[in-house]
Structure 1
Amino acid sequence: MSGAAGGGRSDLTVGTVPSLVRRLAIPASTGFLFNTLYNLVDTWVAGRWSATALAGLSASFPVFFIIIAASVGAGQGATVLIGNALGRGEPAAARRLVPQALLLALLVGALISAVGLALARPMYAVIGLQGEALGFGLDYIRPTLAGAVLFVLNAILNAVLTAQGDTVSNRNALIVGSFANAGLAPWLMWGGFGMPRLGMSGIALATLTIQAATASYLAWRCRGSPLLAATRVRALDWRPHGRLLVELLRQGLPAGLNLVLIGAGIFIITSFAGRHGEAVVAAYGAAIRIEQLVLLPTIGLNVATLALVAQNAGAGRFDRVVTVYRTGVGYGVGLMASGGVLLWLAAPWLAAQFARTAEVVAHVTTYLRIEVFTLCAYALIMQSVALMQGLKRPLFGLAVHGTRHFLAPVPVFWLLDVGLGLGPRGIWFGILLITWSSALVATGFALHYLRRTLRTATALAPPACVPDDA
């Protein structure tokens, strides 16, 4: 049993695995749902201001995505290393990682702010934003970039809690933040009650205010967590430690690059969709929003698997690691199969909620009904990547996502769309083909690695004591 845990809820090496997976995954999925609603509110508020303001906000996504990628990468790297130290029964080593991870958050946040503010206008020029839309975009992204450190800081604070098995705190913060944003964003944007109209800057300031409040809450929860409640972090631990910082970067950088590759994949798909007109581009944009809602449970399972594998691998409990992976895959495939049936039946209605013309509705419906057969593959990929990340093999995910989002799409889409003349359906079938191929390879490799690791651990284990009177 982990020394940090002391038998409490932060010890993920004891207890039944399915109940632990549910305890971690359900709050995490709920939190991501409210985070999605949070982003929808910002989109709605900007759209109510004007179509040009919405264009400025939408064009800011690639720039904002850099902040998200850095935050996710830093958070996952910290989760793995802290969880692994707890599993080894070394709470002191886990505590030493906390200030180093927070220092890394400050460094990464400052770097993003400096580079982003310097390159914001040129990046918008590459996207093609100009005129009034450019002004709206800069009004939103400049305050957001200035506060980039808050996003990375919250990811690290949440990682400290997640590594101990606490996904409830971040869920609570996301729920409260979502409701707060629904009132704060329109108030700061449009003004009233003594507040001047801040326009797009108001949306950004609302987000930064909520991020700052979230950081205060998560820091308080971390301070009271089993890892930090008993012993204060020493002042000496705040001095930069080169080896620990490098290890955090080694674990976190590939995870952050995974998100960048996902963004590149979306760009490639959008480029092929653009060959068939605005209706297909609009349909793809609407369809992936619907798809993201269906995939929310798999994101929660991903968080659960990462934390559970990190602790149990650190404890040398590879038998439980196998059970975690099988449980996560079972839950993921079951949920996606059930969600796929509902998605097939509801596809026309859902398409009509996000699209206004019959042509776009038809394309959205077609995409969703093809994607129904892809959902289980996403669950397999996410669980395999989370498993390998938890085993401190972050380059595995980079290889999977690099192939799936960057190397494979262009030749496959060209063959099905252009070569065979299947049009948009060729693109959608190409996504299905690439995703299932990646899922099968990723799952096969993960199972092989698990079997090899389990055999090695068994061979190195000391022989069981035999009683003298046996």
Structure 2
Amino acid sequence: MGMVFNTLYNLTDIWFAGYLGDDSLAALSIAGSVFFLLLSIGIGIQTGASAMIAPEVGRGAMHDGTSQIKEWVDNIIGMAIAFSVVSLLLGAVAARPLVVLLGAEPHIEPLAMEYLWVTLAGSIGFTLSFAAAGALMALGDTHSNRNALAIGFFANFALNPLFTFGLGLGVTGIALATVTIKLATAFYLLYVLAKRLNIRIRPAFDWPRWQALLKQVLPASFNMLTIVLGGFITVALIGQFGSQHVAGYTVGLRLEQLLLLPALGLNSAVMAIAGQNMGAGHNSRVAETYQKSLSIGLVMALMSVPVMYFLSPLMVGFFTDAEAIRQTGVTYLRIDALAFYAYVVLFQSVAVLQAIRKPLFPMYLGIARQLVIPALINYVLIVVWDYPMVSMFYTIVAVVIGSAVIAHFYTRREIGRLP
């Protein structure tokens, strides 16, 4: 439910950008791709926090004064702050060239940069939120993050029109609302975490712990980076057909993410439960958790695919009346519906592998699935052979299905190797 509210939050931004005009909608679509590319180095913090703390919980550290858990929390927060600084520095250098690379026309580029400068300045709110949410998830608390995301959605619905139209800030207002809410979310989650553990959180730099953390965080971050880079390359190629098609793809992608959110929520639960079971030595339950997640995910797919196919014109039309934007969004949703359950299998496979501290294979698979294979195929199709834009969507489906099959059998093998 928290992730549903998070995606509704993003859709709210897109909705208000649409009211500012098609140029603002295209600018926000391009800027969002750049921002998440830069932020991806910090997104792995959530996975790393859960991977390191959940086994401690399984070993009973919650009942021995939480000294080990406190040390992990302090170092995770320290790393989150460091990653936010890196994101800001990289953004200052690379943001504008990346916006241009994604096909932003001269009248779109300034609008995209308006959004980016504000969100990059407030990136610490994003990384701290990820860190605190990952720690709470490992402790079995998903309610606090859900509550924060739900309140954030309603706050965004209030602040967006206030900043964007009431104060006349335009795209800057959308970004300012997001940064304000993310900072408030970070403070709230850190307060809940400190209260739950009865500790005072102090950012720490303990190099041996940072090394152990980085072994989990960097592969997860790099996996996320490949996902974002893959989308980045897709957007860059779609941008050759015009920024309105970029906007249509972004709207379709956000709607697909909304439908995939129950599976992503399942992914978070699987990671925490599998990690706790491994820490407690109940390895047979790791296999049981994985199998049940696939069954639940199948039910989710059977419910979501018809919505994705038949209601896509209605859903996309809610955000824009522009024919090019609408047609691209609907086309993407209908084609990618073929790979919906494959996404579910991938999510659960990656969650289990990260929970049992086998993060490298998801990273390698992500590089191949998100980056190397689609980039090569789509470059040949679009640039060399001059195929239509829709061919890229079929490439996505084929690669996702193939990757899901490989990930499933690899995960089963690694579970079978647990002592």
Indicate the TM-score class for this superposition, using the shorter chain for normalisation. 0.7 to 0.9
Verify: 1:136 aligned to 2:111, yes or no: yes
CA contact (8 A) 2:103 2:240 kept: no
The correspondence for 2:30, drawn from 59, 69, 72, is: 59
Verify: 1:324 aligned to 2:289, yes or no: yes
- Report the equivalent of 2:82: 107
Residues 410, 210 of structure 1: CA spacing in aligned structure 2 closer, same or farther, 3 A cutoff? closer
**More deviation in 127-136 or 162-171?**
127-136
Q: CA deviation at 1:66?
A: 3.4
Q: CA deviation at 1:366?
A: 4.9
Distance 1:57 1:184 in 2: 17
- Report the equivalent of 1:156: 131
CA contact (8 A) 2:316 2:329 kept: yes
Q: CA deviation at 1:247?
A: 1.6
CA contact (8 A) 2:115 2:172 kept: yes
Q: CA deviation at 1:342?
A: 3.6
Q: CA deviation at 1:367?
A: 4.1
Distance 1:47 1:347 in 2: 18
Amino acid aligned to 1:105? A
- Report the equivalent of 2:91: 116
Residues 276, 100 of structure 1: CA spacing in aligned structure 2 closer, same or farther, 3 A cutoff? closer
The correspondence for 1:309, drawn from 245, 268, 274, is: 274
Residues 311, 38 of structure 1: CA spacing in aligned structure 2 closer, same or farther, 3 A cutoff? same
Residues 178, 436 of structure 1: CA spacing in aligned structure 2 closer, same or farther, 3 A cutoff? same
Distance 1:62 1:418 in 2: 21
CA contact (8 A) 1:417 1:425 kept: no
- Report the equivalent of 2:152: 177
Amino acid aligned to 1:100? N
Length, aligned pairs only: 415
Distance 2:330 2:29 in 1: 23
Q: CA deviation at 1:210?
A: 1.3
Q: CA deviation at 1:426?
A: 4.0
CA contact (8 A) 2:194 2:200 kept: no
- Residue deviations 1:354-384 (CA, integer Å, cap 9, x gap): 5646777666555434333311111111100
The correspondence for 2:361, drawn from 389, 396, 401, is: 396
Q: CA deviation at 1:296?
A: 1.1
Verify: 1:374 aligned to 2:313, yes or no: no
**TM-score w.r.t. length of structure 2:** 0.88
- Between Structure 1 and Structure 2, the one with more helix by share is 2
Distance 1:116 1:309 in 2: 36
- Report the equivalent of 1:435: 400
Distance 1:365 1:125 in 2: 26
CA contact (8 A) 2:118 2:176 kept: yes
Percent of pairs with identical residues? 33
- Report the equivalent of 2:172: 201
Q: Which of the two has higher C-alpha Rg?
A: 1
Q: CA deviation at 1:447?
A: 0.4
The correspondence for 2:227, drawn from 247, 262, 276, is: 262
- Residue deviations 1:114-139 (CA, integer Å, cap 9, x gap): 33234444444444547554433333
**More deviation in 180-189 or 168-177?**
180-189
Distance 2:176 2:327 in 1: 38
Residues 179, 127 of structure 1: CA spacing in aligned structure 2 closer, same or farther, 3 A cutoff? same
CA contact (8 A) 2:6 2:150 kept: yes
Q: CA deviation at 1:175?
A: 0.8
Residues 220, 234 of structure 1: CA spacing in aligned structure 2 closer, same or farther, 3 A cutoff? closer
Residues 139, 417 of structure 1: CA spacing in aligned structure 2 closer, same or farther, 3 A cutoff? closer
CA contact (8 A) 2:256 2:333 kept: yes
Aligned CA-pair RMSD: 3.0
CA contact (8 A) 1:67 1:152 kept: no
The correspondence for 2:205, drawn from 220, 228, 240, is: 240
- Report the equivalent of 2:52: 81
Distance 2:416 2:12 in 1: 46
Structure 2 portions without partners, runs of 5+:
none
- Residue deviations 1:367-410 (CA, integer Å, cap 9, x gap): 43433331111111110011001111111111121111112224
Amino acid aligned to 2:57? L
The correspondence for 1:295, drawn from 243, 250, 260, is: 260
Q: CA deviation at 1:222?
A: 0.9
> 1:216-231 to 2 correspondence within 5 Å?
216-225=187-196, 228-229=197-198
Amino acid aligned to 1:86? V
Amino acid aligned to 1:403? A
> 1:85-96 to 2 correspondence within 5 Å?
85-90=56-61, 91-96=66-71
Amino acid aligned to 2:89? A
Distance 2:288 2:392 in 1: 36
Q: CA deviation at 1:307?
A: 0.9
Residues 48, 89 of structure 1: CA spacing in aligned structure 2 closer, same or farther, 3 A cutoff? same
